[in-house]
Chains A and B, each alone.
Chain A
Amino acid sequence: MTNSTPVLRIEGAALAFGSQPLFTGLNLELAPAEHLLMVGRSGCGKTSLLRAIAGLQRLDAGRISLHGSLATDAGTLAISPERRGIGYLFQGGALWPHLTVEGTLRFCLKCGRVPRKEHQGRIAELLEWVELSGFEKRRPGSLSGGEAQRVGLARALCMRPKLMLLDEPLGPLDAELRYSLLDRLESLRDQLGFATLHVTHDPREAARIAHRALRLEGGVLQPLDLEGSELSPLQPAIR
């Protein structure tokens, strides 16, 4: 693998929901540290594509390669989800209700076989990254929407992934929190150098931190101009 090897390569991917095709013959590449914004209407297949990349959903046809290695070949998972080294930020966080913030991160570190003596330092670092130091003992039920989403981000970053999948990460948040989380994502991306596939149904969202944008419509990916009016970020006055 070289530096120019795409973090993600999708070739001829096809997926249907029942008898309704979501996409067919879909191709996509993502370069290291690139931030790709994917927009599209609700139900167009954005989340299904993310899930297929993560190995949570099998394709009907096509291949997905991660860092040059074949990960999914149509209905076969060559690499299981837990071995793909992907960070995934789910809409709403999807936090484990029985674990504290610290327990959540510790669980991930254990799964990643990080030596126990390093756990405390890594947890402190992760919480600092997402500005949640002091929240170690809190449970998901006691967190606000923005806090839960940031814990989800910390969890996704636990194993320092080279590919981050963001599924409508700003959906339930108000404008101020959206901008705060976007700033955090941008600085972490630049600091840690992960590539990002950022899915949203709101074309304005995150346009200012993305390097490239695509629209998924009718099962086809079309490039979008980041400077175009459709993708212009919210005006500073709203911030």
Chain B
Amino acid sequence: MSRPLLILALGVFAVLCLGPLGIMLPRVTPADLASLGDSRTWNLLGRTIGLGAGVSAIALLLGLPFAFFVTRTDVPGAGLLRLLGVIPLFMPALLMAMTWTVFVDWRGAPGTIWILGLSYFPLVAVFAGRAFERIDGRLEDAALLAGGRWAQLRSGLPLVYPAALAGAALAFTFAVNDFAVPDYVSSVGPKFNVYADEIFANWNNWKRPGLAVVTALPLIALTVCTLLPVLRLRRRGALASIASGFRDPETLKLGVWRFPAIVFCLAVLSASVFLPLGRLFYEAWGAADGTLDTLRGAFASAFDLARDDLARSLRFATIAATAATFLGLVLGHAIERVRRRRLGTVLEIAALLPIAAPATLFGIGAIVMWSRPGLSGIYASEAMPVILFTGRLAAFAVLILSGAVASLDVRLEESAALAGAGPIKRLFQIVAPPLVGALAASWTLVFAFALRELDAGILVPEANRTAIIRVFNGVHFGRDEYVAALSLLLVFASLLPALFWICFSRKRLEVLP
């Protein structure tokens, strides 16, 4: 491991990812701390935990069977269904809220839970799907011989639960930190206050960063406690290292259950992908009175009015994804290979903090940190959104790539060292090439998340001129065909790198070992 490169990466990570959170702590005053005794704070926490638990439950209920059907059974078009099932992760949850609030009258907690559940069920599906296909066929055969199909299923499920729970825990974290969906659902129905909303309000109304921190503390503690098991669970069960002699598990023949299985998968995809995108398309078309010209006009307006915003979004997301992936490779490698294991563990936990903190708090921290005299040049420049998005999202790259490095035989690096390759050469020429699928996954995920980053971006003036903020403003101040067309363009842009990769690369996008 190259010490100068590691120190550089640690420095960048500390400034961009941890700085906005660390800089807020000294701003807490005793008056701010008093708000911890406020019953309103604890009511909000309870409500937010309820929201997260509901979203996790929906993600499990939809994601686990979906993953099973598309990875292990002969359900028709399993590969395509599996790909389509990832799309909600690339769609801003706000778009899901915009469309589902039209379909149903659910508002408040039920509506928010349903919408966020649909947005984040792919986390469970992706984790569990990977686990299902990594169950050793020999284990299943042994169970089959011992007790038939039921025993086979029962022997496999415990190997998948850790992965599914890891996905559910991530869904919980995303849900409790979400600001845009509760805000939008509240705007079309009775007010549904959650924690992220409160942090935003504390900052927006009183400009008191200390109060925002104190309000967030119980939530951060809660999300860290939720995320810590994810670090363990993602390497447990079928996601643990593959044993030598591993045999792929067989595809299960569903027989008469094939039809209900495909209906279930299509229903999940309809709710999470086809209906929201279809509704946006319908709105861009001009609703019931629409014509092809209306649709063409809507896209033309979207291009004309939001061209600069879209270009900025793409530019910011591209640079942030590249920087985050680079950081992820260096730090992910360090987490797994650093000689002092405790340092690796500390680094891994530190990587969770930007995810554990509400994006609104992260945004406020970035404002406090970068708007100081001497740094205002950066704050007012286009570098600011890149700094904000890289800081907020690099943690995903670090965690994806540390998992990928863990699955790589350490002897590959050792043999390169003995061949005379130095640490930097080993990292970029021996470690990186076999991880190209994970590197691409990390890049596309950070790119998509940066394009849809709303909660932190909405606070920072330079990050306000992006496509997602324009959509957010559009839906609050007069929604029309143009907003729907811009939303579709945003989804398409989010999916584009992943589509390119799938079409033109032989390697899979690997978010898990």
Contacts and interface: CB of A to CB of B under 8 A. Distances in A.
Interface of A: 51, 54-56, 58, 80-84, 86-88, 90, 94-99, 107-108, 111-113, 152, 155-156, 158-159
Among B409, B417, B421, B430, which residue has the most Cβ atoms of chain A within 10 A? B417
Contacts of B420: 82-83, 108, 111-113, 159
A81 B418 contact: yes
B433 A98 contact: yes
Interface in B401-430: 409, 411-412, 414-422, 425, 429-430
Nearest to A167: B411
A87 B418 contact: yes
Contacts of A158: 419
Interface of B: 339, 409, 411-412, 414-422, 425, 429-430, 433-434, 436
Nearest to B409: A94
B418 A84 contact: yes
A111 B425 contact: yes
A90 B414 CA distance: 10
Contact of A96 (B412, B418, B425): B412
10 contacts: A55-B417, A80-B417, A82-B422, A84-B418, A88-B415, A90-B414, A96-B430, A111-B421, A111-B425, A159-B419
B419 A108 contact: yes
B57 to A, nearest CB: 40
A113 B416 CA distance: 14
Contacts of B434: 96-98
A56 B412 contact: no
Given A98-B433, A98-B434, A111-B425, A82 B411 contact: no
Contacts of A56: 414, 417-418
Contacts of B417: 55-56, 80-82
Given A81-B418, A155-B419, 8 more contacts: A58-B339, A80-B417, A88-B414, A90-B415, A94-B409, A96-B416, A113-B420, A158-B419
Contacts of A108: 419-420
B415 A107 contact: no
Contacts of B429: 107
A81 B422 contact: no
Contacts of A156: 418
Given A94-B409, A94-B412, A111-B425, A86 B418 contact: yes
Closest 7 CB pairs of A and B: A111-B420, A94-B411, A98-B433, A108-B419, A81-B417, A111-B421, A82-B420
Nearest to B436: A98
A99 B429 CA distance: 10
Contacts of B425: 111
A219 B240 CA distance: 31
Contact of A82 (B409, B421, B433, B436): B421
Chain B interface mostly helix, strand, loop or mixed?
helix
Among B415, B429, B434, which residue has the most Cβ atoms of chain A within 10 A? B415
Contact of A107 (B339, B409, B421): B421
B414 A81 contact: yes
Contacts of B436: 98
Nearest to A56: B414
B419 A94 contact: no
B422 A155 contact: no
Among A55, A87, A90, which residue has the most Cβ atoms of chain B within 10 A? A90
Contacts of A55: 417
A73 B416 CA distance: 23
Contacts of A84: 418
A155 B415 contact: yes
Nearest to B414: A56
A88 B418 contact: yes
A155 B418 CA distance: 10
Nearest to A90: B411
A80 B419 CA distance: 12
A112 B433 contact: no
Contacts of B411: 90, 94
Contacts of B412: 94-97
Among B409, B412, B416, B422, which residue has the most Cβ atoms of chain A within 10 A? B416
A83 B417 CA distance: 8
A112 B420 CA distance: 6
Nearest to B422: A82
B406 to A, nearest CB: 16
B430 A54 contact: no
B99 to A, nearest CB: 43
Contact of B414 (A54, A80, A99): A54
Contacts of A81: 414, 417-418
B428 to A, nearest CB: 12
A178 B416 CA distance: 25
A95 B412 CA distance: 7
B418 A54 contact: yes
B72 to A, nearest CB: 25
Among A54, A82, A152, which residue has the most Cβ atoms of chain B within 10 A? A82
Given A94-B409, A97-B434, A112 B419 contact: yes
A107 B411 CA distance: 16
Contacts of A87: 418
A107 B425 CA distance: 10
A58 B339 CA distance: 10
A158 B420 CA distance: 10
Contacts of A97: 412, 434
B502 to A, nearest CB: 20
Contact of A111 (B339, B409, B419, B433): B419
Contacts of A90: 411, 414-415
Contacts of B422: 82
A54 B411 CA distance: 12
Nearest to A89: B415
A90 to B, nearest CB: 5
Contacts of A83: 420
